[in-house]
Amino acid sequence: MENEGIPLKVYPSTSYEVYGLSKNPFGELASEGIEDIESIHVYQEVDMKISMILSEVIGNRSSIAFSLVGPLGMGKTQRLKSITKAIGERRGKAIYVKVDTNDILKITRDMFNSLKPPKSKTAIFFENLSKKLGFIDQLEKMLTSVEEYKSRDIAELLTKELSKYSYCAILLDELENMQTAKEHEKIQFFEMLRHFISHMPQGCVFAFACVPEAYEEYTKIFPAFFMRLHYEFRLRPMSLEETFELIKKRLNRVRIRDTTDPLYPFTEEAIKLIHDLGKGNPRQILRLLHYVLSEASKHKFDPIDDYVVTTILEEPKSLDEYLTRIPKDYRDLVEIIVFEFNGGPISYIQVAKEAKKPGVQVYEHLEELIRLGFLIGDPKGNYKVPDYVRKFLEEERKEEGEE
């Protein structure tokens, strides 16, 4: 392959060593799976503001509530986890809950369970015995059904428990997963949070993360809660300069050979193209970088410039190539749409039933596939393959008909 008459260097190695790297540094997307995440985090204005909030809470024993709003992959979880760590370093208590359900009883129970120390076998025995004998405490009774859910009483119990600590935090991640709950249940939950914020103990941080679409819906349902928030932080896409910094930090962690160019093996033009394709979304940028570096190493392209990126990311030439490009964690969902439903359109609920996976998880993955360009969404909320994939399916049907 040539680029404007300049031949690309080809090395005999088939690993990332061709670029002086021990591995592909862009494979880890979620902050939960990365140790020492701070060393590769790219700081934006919001990080400075969160740092100031923590200084205010810790220095003056203030109590502050705020929201983090942004699309998937913008770093919301990472920032909530940084607050968890900061509170823990001061021997405080941080309740971090990744919301994975629309059941307000479970979400609330998860919050209180975070306050409990690990149970011994003896404690578990006596707890089970007390339940058999009918001794149900106040909280457990309120969490038996939505009808028994007393928003104010639950909030007061939460305040009472957290008041035992010098510093504390309640951090709710992925609150959009509660979106499918019944409206009156969402109101009950937000009323509980509103009452908690109104009576927060000293030295307390309350924060939650949410995607914009769900955030707007929640705001309309219960404006009184959102009026209690002290700050609302809207996460913005990465700038090109921030993308350069992200890539330099990631590459530096796995270099096994010195280089004068901290972006090597990528050129600035290649990164600009990837930044534009990823629309500044950190997770999308990392996915593209991972795929491009992986494919480039197989073909030993050096350097990886915008021409190489364009060649790697051009439309697949076959159905197999299309499926191969899809991230492994999501491939089964696309195969269901392709082979079971002829490319769609199909709802996420139907896909979830076929895949036997939680609906909320499948919805999130399908939305990510849209952002990556592997699927298309329609106004009715359904999902389908791009037109070029549909052509592959039509060609296969014709070939089968001719046989």
Summarised one tens digit per residue, pLDDT across range 290-327 is 989 988 998 888 899 998 998 888 878 888 888 888 88
pLDDT band of 367, cuts 50, 70, 90:
confident
Nearest to 217 by CA among 245, 176, 262, 249: 176
Cβ-contact 177, 360 below 8 angstroms: yes
Most distant CA atoms of the chain, gap in Å:
84
Tell me the pLDDT of the chain averaged across its residues: 86
- 150 CB burial (10 A radius; 0-12, 13-18, 19+): middle
Confidence of residue 400 (pLDDT cuts 50, 70, 90): low
Q: How confident is the model at residue 31 (pLDDT cuts 50, 70, 90)?
A: low
In the block, which residue shows the tokens 């769900």? 214
Q: Which of 13-17, 278-282, 320-324 has the highest mean pLDDT?
A: 278-282
| Strands in 166-211 per DSSP E | 168-173, 204-210
The pLDDT value given to residue 117:
65
Q: Sorting pLDDT into bands at 50, 70 and 90, what band is 120?
A: low
Q: Tokens 């009808």 identify what position?
A: 147
pLDDT for 36? 64
Q: Domain ranges in the chain?
A: 2-23+254-313, 45-234, 319-402
Asked whether residue 33 carries a pLDDT value surpassing 70, the answer given is: no
Q: What percent of the chain has pLDDT over 70?
A: 88
Q: Are 84 and 96 in contact (CB under 8 A)?
A: yes
H helical segments located in 199-343? 212-221, 223-227, 240-253, 268-277, 282-299, 306-313, 319-325, 328-335
* Residue 247 exposed, middle or buried by CB count within 10 Å (0-12, 13-18, 19+): buried
Architecture of domain 319-402 in this structure: Orthogonal Bundle (1.10)
Tokens of 294: 């992986």
Instruction: Quote helix, strand, coil % in the chain, to nearest 5.
Output: 55, 10, 35
Residue burial 50-78, b: 16+ Cβ < 10 Å; e: rest: beebbeebbeeebbbbbbbbbbbbbbbbb
Helices and strands in the chain: count of H runs, count of E runs: 18, 9
Q: What are phi and psi of 260, to 5 degrees?
A: -80, -15
Supply 26's token pair.
């862009």
SS3 362: helix
pLDDT band at 53 (very low <50, low <70, confident <90, very high): very high
Superfamily of 45-234 according to CATH: P-loop containing nucleotide triphosphate hydrolases (3.40.50.300)
